[in-house]
Amino acid sequence: MGLVQEIAELWGEYLNGGEVGAEDDFFALGGNSLIGIKIIDRVSQDYGVELSVRAFYLAQTPARVAGLVEQGRALT
């Protein structure tokens, strides 16, 4: 399973329990600040990458968040 799919599944756990696509928009799926912070915390635990709330919100899709995780991994 690729990183984008893993991130999409993580979002599904917190957002609607259903399928989330790579390009699905966080806010269109019903995302809010509390859910965003929970996902950011999980990304930190699971991947060892600290995302800022601002970066997460600007990314808006699992594909772009996966890109941020990959960038964060490259810096460590």
The pTM for the full model equals 0.91
- Domains in the chain: boundaries: 3-27+42-75
DSSP category for residue 74: H
What CA–CA distance (Å, rounded) separates 43 from 26?
Answer: 15
**pLDDT tens-digit map of 34-76:** 999 999 999 999 999 999 999 999 999 999 999 999 998 888 6
Q: Residue 51 CA to chain centroid, in angstroms?
A: 9
Short-list 45, 37, 49, 40, CA closest to 73: 49
Residue count of the chain, please give it.
76
- H or E stretch covering 61: none
How sure is the predictor about 18, in pLDDT bands with cuts at 50, 70 and 90? confident
